[in-house]
Amino acid sequence: MAWGLIIDGMYLARVHLDELEEELKQVESNIKYCRERLLMYAAASPRDIVVKDNIESWDDRIYYEINAILDDYAEQCYRRILIIEAMENPSAVSEY
């Protein structure tokens, strides 16, 4: 069964009102980690990219890695916006 918060019609999964501050810290830590990973790949040379089982080329590998990081980054940014909105406007929040 799903649980979380509904904030102005938008759903924030797996968090309760009393956990918002801790969740915000975790999300900001995740955003920082995504940024660090992006910077690591930006500074990498092709030989720094480890290709698993020699199945894919390094440029395919980096393409998939960057897309995965950007997807995670976008999700964390969205969660951050919802958490901040819930903290600033608790009357618009209902628990689910």
At 23-45, the pLDDT tens digits run 999 999 999 999 999 999 899 87
Q: What is the pLDDT of residue 50?
A: 67
Mean pLDDT over the full length of the chain = 87
Q: Residue 68: which H helix or E strand, with range?
A: helix 58-88
The answer to whether residue 22 scores a pLDDT higher than 60 is yes
* Average pLDDT of span 63-91: 94
* pLDDT on residue 1: 44
> pLDDT value at position 29?
98
In order, the DSSP letters of 27-47 are HHHHHHHHHHHHHHHHH--GG
